[in-house]
Amino acid sequence: MSALSDQLVTFAILAYLIAMISHAVEYALGNARAVARPAAPARELVGAGVGARAGGPVDAPVASADALPDAPIAKADAAPAGGDRSADRGLLAGRAAVWITALAAALHLAATVTRGIAADRMPWGNMYEFVLTVSFVGAAAWLAVLWKRPSLRRLGLFLTLVMVLLLAFAEMKLYVEVVPLTPALQSYWFIVHVSTISFSSGIFLLGVVPAVAFLMRNGYERGRRSFPYTLAKRLPAAAGLERLTFTLHAFAFPIFTFAVIAGAIWAEAAWGRPWGWDPKETWAFISWVVYAGYLHARATPSVRRNVATWIAILGFLTMLMNLFGVNFFFTGLHSYAGVS
């Protein structure tokens, strides 16, 4: 069972990789068209114009544009294809990418479940399993978002990239054999705590994708044409990305809060104190405070939306620090990493 799980992980990585390439093909074909046809820049200008109108003067919060549909992308795709084969192929590649992502997520789920069966417990006993679960939540939530908002499809390039990197890293650096839980982890609070942490981390992970996309697209809509911004040419409108970023974070934050509280309850039972400033606890506190800062920043009209979004990204970096940095660099009671 455990070997099966390992194989499934490898297949899932491959599938994500293929999905990523497929997304990239869509990008490339779309761009090729833009280069090939002189009319395209004009269309883009329309798009940029809408964006600019949406954003108002450069300093105004983008919020005022919330109500506008993602016009540029819609226009680009809805344009009469008139013999434009490469754009068609691009769309096809994009659609294929989504289906392959779904397949990859299914493999990913199967890998996680078989791992759990092999261990005869929830598959959250060590860092490898944790990363497996968190990234699955991210992928599944992505598909759910995509189901409701197909126009976000192009973000899939970033998402699959994240998946490939995370899973490959997990397989190469974090892999451990299946073992039962240590006594410290044998508690139902463990299930409550780790499942909610995984879930919220997965959503936060997914939240990074529109956050980064927003920052790029926002720059693009404001007329930046240098390297990372040009990538955003064919992304959905900035306002929508920003809102999705907020929605995901607002959804994950209470779950994360609950997870931290559950962790404190568990720590009280296991170690006699709800909070002891162990490195992991310290970083959970830091993440929590940074995300609270993001919610505050977004609710403060004088703070620009891209500043707020940077805070969200910073929040995720602190989550990563907690997952990898603390497990590798510090020793604490959460001797959970299982990497030696």
Partner 1 sequence: MTVVEDRPAPPAAAPRRRPNPVLALLRNSWRQLTSMRTALILLFLLAVAAIPGSVLPQRGVNPENVNKYFVDHPDLAPRLDRIGAFEVFGSVWFSAIYLLLFTSLIGCIVPRLREHVRALRAKPPAAPQRLDRLPQHAVLTGVATDAEAVAAELRRRRWRAQVRGNEVSAEKGYLKETGNLLFHTSLIAVLLGVALGSWYGWHGNKLLVAGAENAFCNTRQQYAEAKLGPRVDSAGLPPFCLTLTDFEATFLESTQPESYRATVDVEEAGRATRTASFSVNDPLRLGDANIYLLGHGYAPILRYTDRYGRTQTSNFPFLTTGDATLTSEGVAAFPDVNVDPATGKRDAGLQVAFEGLYLPTAPQQAPFTRSEFPTERNPAVVLVAYRGNLGMDAGIPGSVYQLDQRQVASGKLKQIGDRKLAVGEKWTLDDGSVLEFVGTKPYITISVRYDPGSILLLGSSATLLVGLMGALFGRRRRVWFRVTPAGPDRATAGAADPAGGSPTAGSSLVEVGGLPRTDYPGFADEFAQLVAVISGDVTPGGRAGDGGAGGRAGDGGAGGRAGDVTPGELAGGGHDAGGPAGTREGAQ
Task: Identify residues 9-48 at the interface with partner 1 (CB under 8 A).
Answer: none
User: What minimum distance in Å lies between the beta carbon of 246 and ligand HEM?
Assistant: 10
275-279 contacts, C-beta under 8 A, 24 or more apart: 276/333, 278/332, 278/333, 278/334, 279/326, 279/330, 279/331, 279/332, 279/334
Contact flag: residue 66 with ligand HEM (CB under 6 A):
no
User: What minimum distance in Å lies between the beta carbon of 292 and ligand HEM?
Assistant: 4
Number of residues that bind partner 1 (CB under 8 A): 81
Q: For 62, how many CA atoms within 13 A lie in the half-sphere containing its CB?
A: 26
- The smaller minimum CB distance to partner 1, of residues 87 and 164, is found at 87
User: What minimum distance in Å lies between the beta carbon of 303 and ligand HEM?
Assistant: 11
Token pair belonging to 272? 């006699």
Burial grade of 150 (CB within 10 A; 0-12, 13-18, 19 or more): exposed
Contact flag: residue 292 with ligand HEM (CB under 6 A):
yes
Stretch in the footprint of partner 1 (CB under 8 A) among 107-115, 157-165, 215-223, 294-302:
294-302
Euclidean distance between CA atoms 165 and 17, whole angstroms: 10
User: What minimum distance in Å lies between the beta carbon of 14 and ligand HEM?
Assistant: 40
Stretch in the footprint of partner 1 (CB under 8 A) among 130-138, 155-163, 216-224, 325-333:
325-333
- The smaller minimum CB distance to ligand HEM, of residues 159 and 260, is found at 260
Euclidean distance between CA atoms 93 and 318, whole angstroms: 35
Q: Classify residue 226 by its DSSP letter.
A: S
> For 56, left (φ over 0), alpha (ψ -120 to 50), or beta?
left
User: In the set 299, 328, 331, 335, which binds ligand HEM (CB under 6 A)?
Assistant: 299
- The smaller minimum CB distance to partner 1, of residues 52 and 63, is found at 63
Contact flag: residue 183 with partner 1 (CB under 8 A):
yes
Contact flag: residue 318 with partner 1 (CB under 8 A):
yes
Contact flag: residue 296 with ligand HEM (CB under 6 A):
yes
Euclidean distance between CA atoms 294 and 43, whole angstroms: 35
- The smaller minimum CB distance to ligand HEM, of residues 273 and 296, is found at 296
CA angle 27, 54, 158 (to 5 degrees): 25
Task: Give the contacts of 340 (CB within 8 A, at least 6 positions apart).
Answer: none
Contact flag: residue 63 with ligand HEM (CB under 6 A):
no
- The smaller minimum CB distance to ligand HEM, of residues 43 and 304, is found at 304
Dihedral of the CA atoms 260, 195, 120, 132 (nearest 10)? -110
Q: If contact means CB under 5 to 8 A according to the sort of partner, which of partner 1, ligand HEM, none does residue 277 touch?
A: partner 1
Stretch in the footprint of ligand HEM (CB under 6 A) among 16-24, 124-132, 208-216, 294-302:
294-302
User: What minimum distance in Å lies between the beta carbon of 238 and ligand HEM?
Assistant: 21
Q: What are phi and psi of 10, to 5 degrees?
A: -60, -45
